[in-house]
Structure 1
Amino acid sequence: MSRLVIVVEKASDWGSYYPSDNVVAAQDYLKEPIAADDERVQVINLCRSYKYLGIGYYVSLLAEARGHKVIPSVRTINDLRKRALYGLDIEDLNQKLTKFLPEGGRDTTDFGVLVYFGETSYTTLSDLARQVFDTFPCPILRLEFEREKVWQIAAIKPAGLHTLTDQQEDSFAASLDKFSKKLWRRPRARKAYRYDIAMLADPNEAMPPSNKRALKSFVEAGREIGIEVEIIGKNDYSRLAEYDGLFIRETTAIDNHTYRFANKAEKEGMVVIDDPGSILKCTNKIYLHDLLKSRKLATPKTEILYRDDAKKLAELPDQLGFPIVLKIPDGSFSRGIVKVETVEELKKAADDLFQHTALVLAQEFMFTEFDWRIGVLDGQALYACQYFMSRGHWQIYNHGANATQKSGGFKTLPVRDAPSEVVKLALKATASIGDGLYGVDLKQNSERNVVIEVNDNPSIDAGVEDDYLGEDLYRRIMEEFLRRLERKRLGIAD
C-alpha cells in the first residue's frame, strides 16, 4: 500500500485546492518524520525553490534518507543546476524542435512552456515534454527555447506552484491526479564491455583523498590484473563514455563536477566508485544523521538547528550541554566544524553558519585521543586506522592560521586487531548506504561506540592507509572493479 505526501513551503500555496490530509508544510515534514511502517511513502515536493541547502532542497534530501520515494530527487535537483547536462542528456531533442513548435512564429525569438509531470497543454510538444520529464523528473518544469538559426532548448527550470495562474492551476491539478496513480520507475542502465577505468583526480587539490604515490599504485595494480587505469581531470567530461569504469579520487560534493561525473558514468552503464547515490548520502551530514538514526545506529547526541528558530537555539545548551559542536552539512576534512563553549559563542557561530545553509547539525562533544577509521569495500572491512588529534587541537585536522601542523598522527593496523564492536558498527553503517568504498569514522570510549560519519571517498594515501596491507590494498580495490566489470559483461546483477 502507498501513502502520498505532498509537501508545500507555505500553506497558502495550496490555497486554491481543497484541504487534504496528504498535504504537509515543509517545516513539519522536516521536523517530524512520517512513520512508513509497511507503507510505501511517495513524496511530491512542491516547495517554492530547490536552491542548494534551502528548505525545498532539504525536503528531498531527508525524504531520501527516510526511504521515501520523492520527486524531485536530489539528483534531479542537482542535474537541473548543471546547464551542460541539457545537451548531453537530451541531445537528440534539439533537432526535433522545429517540427514541434507552432507554425506562424516566424518572428519569434524565444518561447516557453510549462510541463506538469511530463504533460503540457501544447499537444504538439507532448512527446518533447515526456522526454524532458523522463530525464529530469520534477513536478513543474518550465522549458525555455531560443532561436538563432534554429530552435534549441535554452533552459529547463523548476517552477513553483505559487507562480501558476488559475488556468495553469487547473492543468497542474489534472496532471497531479493522473501522475499520483502511476508507478514510479527508474531508467534502465546501459551495458558496457571494455576494461578501461578513468580515475578522476585533481593534481592541484590541497587535500586530495589520494596522494601521487597512491594514484600511481592504483594504476600499477590495475595493469597487473588487465585493467588500464587512466588519470583524468574535470575537463575530460566529454570523454567519459570511452571507459568501462570510473574511480573518483577527488574530494566529492554534490554541487561540483565530481557528482556530475558519477551521475553520467552511472547512466552510461559504467562501474562507478563513488556512485552518485553514495555521494548523495555521505556528503551531507544532515542526510547521513537522519539515515543512521532511521537505522537505529549509535551516534553522538544530535539536534538539527533551523534558521530563524531562536527557541531551538536557546534550548540547545540544556539538551546537549557545553561544549557543543556545530557542523555545516557538507564540510570535509574538519572544515565547517566549530566547537562552542558559551551561549555567546553558540549564537555567533550559528549566525555565521546560517549564512551558508538553512540547517545546521549540533552535536554533543565527545573527546577521544583518536578517531577510528574503518575502510569498507563491498560490505567487507578493508583496513583499520587510528587518526590522532592534531597537537593542541580537538580535531584531526587543524585549519587555524597559527597551526603548527595540519593533522595529527596515525596508526594503521590489521582489521582483526581493531575492536570487533567498532568494526561491526562500521559495517552496519555502510550497509545502509551501498556497496561501494567507504571510510567510517567512529569514536570509542569506556561507555559506548558511535558513528561520527561515513565518507564516500575515504583517504587512501601511500604511507598511511596502506601501511599494513601495502600494495595489496590497491590490488584489492582494483580486483573489485574487475569483479564488477566481469559481472556486468555477463549480465549478472550484483
Structure 2
Amino acid sequence: MSRLLIVVDRAKDWAPYYPSEDVLTFDQYLQYSSSSTGRVRVINLCQSAKYLSKGYYCSLLAEARGHHVVPSVMTLNDLSRKGLFSLELEELDPSVLNWLDAAGSEIESASEEKEATPEVRIRTYFGQAEHLDLKPVARALFESFPCPILEIVFKRRKKWQIASMRPAAPADLSEQEQDLFATALDRFSTMVWRKPRTRRRYRFDLAMLVNPEEEMPPSDEAALKRFEKAGRKLGINVERITRRDYMRLPEYDGLFIRETTAIDHHTYRFARKAEAEGMVVIDDPVSILRCTNKVFLADLLRNNKVPTPKTLILSRDQKDAVEHVVSTLGFPVVIKIPDGAFSRGVTKARDEKELRAGLRELFRQSALVLAQEYLYTDYDWRIGVLGGRAIYACKYMMVKGHWQIYQHGESKVESGDFETLPTYEVPRAVIQAALNATRLIGNGLYGVDIKQSGNRVAIIEVNDNPSVDSGVEDKFLGGELYTLIMQEFLSRMEAKRRG
C-alpha cells in the first residue's frame, strides 16, 4: 500500500493540527529511508519554494527517491514563470468575475485613495476556496499547478487577470485559514488521519471511481459494497472516490472505474493519469479508447475476422449512403452513432424514409455513423471477460414489445428481464467469440454483447466498464464474482510491487 508523508520546515509548523507520525520535518525527511516496498506520497509544505530552498530540495529529493510529491519540481518552476499561468477568467465561470468585481469594489471603497489597478488576494487549499464562487478557478488552477496552498493575486486592468501565484505554507495562515486548510487536506488525503494500526491491516489501496449522481451506473450501491467487502478480505482497502479526487490518485496502488466511461470525459483522464503514475487500472485508457468508439471496434473486428453482423461505416459527406445501405443490408437496418451507451444513439429503420430521417439526425452528432444488418433474437448474450477468461454469463432479454434490451422513454428507462448462467452452460462458440474479441482489446474487464441465431454467432460490441449489479451479473456466483475481480487487482498490484 502507499505511505503518505507530510513535510514541514519545523515541528511547530504542524502544532495547530492533529499529531501524526506521518508528519516529518525537512531534516527528518532528508534522512528518511523507507523500509516498505510500497508507494510513497509526499505533501511538501515547506515555507519557501524558491530555487535551492528547503521546499525546492524537498520536491527534488522526493522525485529522486521515486516518491510522488505535491508540488512537483516542474510545478515549482512553472509557478516562477508568470507567462505560464495567465488565463482568461471569463472562460471559467461568470460567478468568478462577479465575485471579483464585488471584492474589488469593497477594497476600493475601504481605501482612502482609489487604486489605479484594484487587486484581490486569495488563498486556495488543494483546489478548494473559502468562497463558493471561486471554486471553479481554484480547481482549474490546482489541476494545472498542483500545489497544497496557493496564494493568488488578481488584478483588474481592462479585465480581471491573475497577476501572480506563489506557494504558501501552514506557518503563513491565520487561525481561520488553518481550519480551511485542515478541512481541504482531510478531503484531499484522508490517509493522514487514519490511525496506523488500522492502516497496516491493508497491503494495498484501491480507488474506486464512482458518480453518486449517475442514473445508470455500472454497479449499484449493493454491488459497490460487495466490492469493498471482497477487497478487505484480500487485504485491499477499497475506497470510493469521485471526479473531485483527481489529484489524490497517486495515493493509491490501483484504480477501478465504476462510472460510465467516455473519451471526452474525466473517466478517461483518470485512467490516463493512473497509468502514468504506474498504477494498476481497470479500465485502462487503451481499452476505453477501443471500446467506446464503435467505428474503431467494427474495423478492428472485421480486419481480424471476428464474426459480426454485416456492418457499413457511413460518412456525413457520402452522397450514396442511403442507396449503399439499401443495396447491401436491406431492411430493417440498425444505425448507430459510434459512442452511444445503454442503447442510446441507436435506431432501427424499417424503410427508406425512416433510414433517411435517422441518418439525418445521427449525422448531426457524428461525422461517421454505423449501419448494421438487423439480427432478430429474443435476447443478447453478455459474457463478462477478465484477464482473458470468461467469469460470468447473462442473457439480457429484449424489453417487451421492443427490439432492444433498453427502451428510453421520456421519464424513465425500461430494461428487459435477464437470466444468469454458469459459463460452462454457455455454447462454446459464444464463449470463444467473446475471448477472440477481447483479446484484440486488452486484458481488462469487458462485457461482450453477442447475438446467437442457430449456429451463427455475431459480436455486437465489446464494452469496457461492464455492468456488475447485485442480483444480476452476480446471480450465479454471488460474492465469488467480486472476489474474482478483486483477486485480479491483487495479483497485478503484487506484480507491480515486485518490479
1:311-340 per-residue CA deviation (whole Å, 9 max, x = no partner) reads 122221111010110101100001110000
Q: Distance in 2 between matches of 1:265 and 1:233?
A: 14
Q: Map of 1:89-238 to 2, 5 A cutoff? A: 91=75, 94-95=78-79, 97=81, 148-149=162-163, 195-238=204-247
Rounded Cα–Cα distance in structure 2 between residues aligned with 1:216 and 1:255: 28
Q: 1:359 aligns with which of 345, 363, 368?
A: 368
Post-superposition offset of 1:447: 4.1
**Partner of 2:229: helix, strand, or coil?**
helix
2:354 and 2:72 mapped to 1: Cα distance?
47
> Structure 1 419/447 Cα, relative in aligned 2: closer, same or farther at 3 Å?
closer
Give runs of aligned pairs for residues 172-321 of structure 1, distance below 5 A.
195-321=204-330
Query: What are the superposed Cα offsets for residues 408-430 of structure 1, whole Å, 9 maximum, x if unpaired?
Result: 00000110000001000100000
Partner SS, residue 442 of structure 2:
coil
Q: Determine helix, strand or coil for the equivalent of 2:255.
A: strand
Separation in structure 1 between the aligned mates of residue 477 and residue 346 of structure 2, nearest angstrom:
32
What's the offset of the Cα at 1:291? 1.0
Match of 1:481 in 2: 489
Which one of the candidate residues 345, 350, 353 is aligned to 2:359? 350
Query: Are the structure 2 counterparts of residues 93 and 319 from structure 1 closer, same or farther at C-alpha, using a change threshold of 3 Å?
Result: farther
Which 5+ residue runs of structure 1 have no aligned equivalent? 1-86, 101-145, 153-192
Counterpart in 1 of 2:479?
471
Residues paired across the two proteins, number: 321
Q: How does 1:437-456 map to 2 (within 5 A)?
A: 437-456=445-464
Give yes or no for contact 1:299–1:452 (8 Å, CA) kept in 2: yes
| Residues 1:390 and 2:399 are matched in the alignment | yes
| 2:233 partner letter | E
In structure 2, what is the Cα distance between the partners aligned to 1:489 and 1:429? 30
Query: Is contact 2:389-2:435 (8 Å) kept?
Result: yes
> Partners of 1:207 and 1:374 in 2: how far apart?
19
* C-alpha contact (below 8 Å) 1:305/1:313 kept by paired residues: no
8 A contact 1:94–1:151 mirrored in 2: no
Contact 1:194 1:244 in 2 (8 A): no
- 8 Å CA contact 1:389–1:408 kept in 2: the answer is yes
* Cα shift readout 1:189-227 (whole Å, capped 9, x = no counterpart): xxxx96100001111111111000000000000000100
- Percent same amino acid at aligned positions? 56
Q: Distance in 2 between matches of 1:413 and 1:466?
A: 10
Aligned partner of 1:430 in structure 2 is 438
Q: Secondary structure at the match of 1:421?
A: helix
| Equivalent AA in structure 2 for residue 458 of structure 1 | P
CA distance change for structure 1 residues 377 and 261 in 2, over 3 Å: closer, same or farther?
A: same
Q: Matches of 2:495 and 2:432 in 1, distance apart? A: 28
Return the offset for 1:149: 3.7
Taking a change above 3 Å as real, the CA distance of residues 339 and 402 of structure 1, as seen in their structure-2 partners, is farther
Instruction: Quote the Cα distance in structure 2 between the aligned partners of 1:90 and 1:326.
Output: 48
- 1:412 paired residue among 396, 406, 420: 420
Contact kept in structure 2, 1:97 and 1:151, CA below 8 Å: no
Query: How large is the RMSD of aligned CA atoms in angstroms?
Result: 2.5
1:45-66 alpha-carbon deviations (Å, 9 max, x no partner): xxxxxxxxxxxxxxxxxxxxxx
**Secondary structure at the residue paired with 1:316?**
helix
Partners of 2:382 and 2:449 within 8 A in 1:
yes
Larger-Rg structure: 2
Is the CA contact (8 Å cut-off) linking 2:322 and 2:352 kept in structure 1? Answer: no
- Matches of 2:360 and 2:372 in 1, distance apart? 17
* Per-residue Cα deviation, 1:33-56 (whole angstroms, up to 9, x for no partner): xxxxxxxxxxxxxxxxxxxxxxxx
Deviation of the 1:230 alpha carbon: 0.4
1:390 touches 1:398 (CA, 8 Å); kept in 2?
A: yes
Deviates more, 1:287-296 or 1:461-470: 287-296
After superposition, the C-alpha distances for 1:112-148 in whole angstroms (9 at most, x for unaligned) are xxxxxxxxxxxxxxxxxxxxxxxxxxxxxxxxxx995
> 2:333–2:374: 8 Å Cα contact kept in structure 1?
yes
Rounded to whole Å, the distance in 2 between the matches of 1:262 and 1:304 is 28
How far apart are the structure 2 equivalents of 1:148 and 1:393?
A: 56
With normalisation by structure 1, the TM-score equals 0.62
CA 88–448 in structure 1, closer or farther in 2 if over 3 Å, else same? farther
Cα distance in structure 2, aligned partners of 1:426 and 1:316 = 27
Structure 1 residues 88, 263: CA separation in 2 closer, same or farther (over 3 Å shift)?
farther
Q: Aligned AA for 1:91?
A: T
Question: 1:95: Cα distance to partner?
Answer: 4.1
CA separation in 1, counterparts of 2:80 and 2:214? 42
Distance change in 2, residues 1:90/1:427 (3 Å) = farther
Moved more, 378-387 or 193-202: 193-202
Structure 1 residues 442 and 311: CA distance shift in structure 2, 3 A: same
Task: Output the amino acid matched with 2:207.
Answer: A
Check whether the contact 2:203–2:235 (CA below 8 A) recurs between aligned residues: no
How many Å separate the matches in 1 of 2:73 and 2:358? 41
Using the alignment, how far apart are the partners of 1:430 and 1:253 within structure 2? 18
What is the CA distance between 1:89 and its match in structure 2? 12
SS of equivalent residue, structure 1 residue 330: coil
Contact 1:208 1:250 in 2 (8 A): yes
Gapped runs of 5+ residues in structure 2?
1-70, 85-159, 167-201
SS in structure 1 opposite 2:395?
strand
The alignment status of 1:328 with 2:327, answered yes or no, reads no
